[in-house]
Amino acid sequence: MERFAQVSPRLKARIAGFFWLIVFVAGSLALYLRGGAGFRLANIIAPICYAVAALLIYDLLKPVNKNISLLAVIVGLMGCAVSLLGLTRFIDVRDLVFLGSIAFWSAPSFSGRPSCRGFWVC
């Protein structure tokens, strides 16, 4: 671990960027494949690479503000745990966003679905 602490911040940022690229590619493959062994493999690789990238970003941003970077890595790792444990099918995005009252989400729409008044999360 001491040896990793001596690595330059630029190299750490490049390694984190590489892991972000893997997350993007694995996530895109998971959306394209939609089932099978490749889908499961991509859904395992993406959160693991995201966790590595989040930890590297924490290490990079720790000198700037340790508390904020710690909060960011905790939230990121919780998202990885949710993804790896397969809990995403039980959690709806609208349950995680606190933008107003229940009436905001249940406004009538022409499609028969609840309207989000232009928000992309629906």
Q: List the chain domain ranges.
A: 2-90, 92-122
Confidence (pLDDT) at 71? 92
Nearest to 18 by CA among 52, 43, 41, 47: 52
CA separation, residue 27 to residues 24, 33, 34, 94 (Å): 5, 10, 11, 21
Confidence (pLDDT) at 120? 47
Would you write out the chain's pLDDT as a tens digit for each of its 122 residues?
567 668 889 999 999 999 999 999 998 888 888 778 888 888 889 889 999 999 999 999 999 999 999 999 999 898 888 888 876 666 665 555 555 545 444 544 555 555 555 444 44
Confidence (pLDDT) at 67? 93
